[in-house]
Amino acid sequence: MRSFADSDGDGIGDLAGIRSRLDYLVDLGVDALWLTPFFPSPMADGGYDVADHRDVDPRLGSMRDFDELLDAVHDRGLRLIVDMVPNHTSNQHPWFREALSSEPGAAARGRYHFRPGRGGDGAQPPNNWRSAFGGPAWTRLPDGDWYLHLFTPAQPDLNWDSGEVRAEFADILRFWLDKGVDGVRVDAAHGLVKPSGLPDFAFPGASGNRPYFDQDGVHAIYRAWRRILDSYTPPRIMVAEAPLRDPARAARFVRPDEMDQAFGFELIWAPWSLPQIRDAVAVAVSAMAAVGRTPTWVIGNHDAVRVASRLSPEGATALRRARAMALLSLALPGSAYVYQGDEIGLPQAPDLAIEFQEDPVRSLSGGARAGRDECRIPMPWLGDRPPFGFAPAGSSAPWLPQPESWAALTVAAQLRRPDSTLAMYRKAIRLRRTIDELRGGDLNWTPAPQGVLAFTRGGTFTCAVNFGSDAVPMQVFLDAGVPVLSSAPVQDDVLPADAAVWIRRPPSTP
Q: What residue type is assigned to position 95 of the chain? A: W
- Residue 200's Cβ-side half-sphere holds a number of Cα atoms within 13 Å equal to 7
Q: Which residues of 186-208 are buried (b: 16+ CB within 10 A; e: fewer)?
A: bbbbbbbbbeeebeeeeeeeeee
Question: Which helix (DSSP H) or strand (DSSP E) does residue 351 occupy?
Answer: none
Strand partners, 88: 157
> Rounded distance, CA 381 to CA 366, Å?
35
**Coil, helix or strand for 14?**
coil
- Where in the sequence numbering do the catalytic residues fall? 187, 241
Beta carbons of 177 and 229 less than 8 angstroms apart: yes
Strand partners, 34: 81
Helices 315-331 and 421-434: angle between axes, nearest 10 degrees: 10
> Rounded distance, CA 494 to CA 475, Å?
8
Q: What residue type is assigned to position 369 of the chain? A: R
Measure Cα distances from 138 to 48, 119, 208, 276 in Å.
18, 15, 22, 37
**Coil, helix or strand for 225?**
helix
Torsion of CA 143, 145, 151, 157, to 10 degrees: -110
> Rounded distance, CA 187 to CA 1, Å?
15
> Rounded distance, CA 443 to CA 454, Å?
10
- How would you classify the pairing of strands 499-504 and 335-337? unpaired
Burial of 456 (0-12, 13-18, 19+ CB in 10 A): buried
**Coil, helix or strand for 29?**
coil
Closest CA to 136 of 144, 145, 147: 147
Closest CA to 329 of 293, 292, 277: 277
> Rounded distance, CA 479 to CA 490, Å?
16
Measured in whole angstroms, how far is the alpha carbon of residue 19 from the centre of its chain?
A: 21
> Rounded distance, CA 339 to CA 40, Å?
23
Length of the chain: 510
Closest CA to 433 of 27, 23, 30: 30
Ramachandran region of residue 93, left (φ > 0), alpha (ψ -120 to 50) or beta? beta
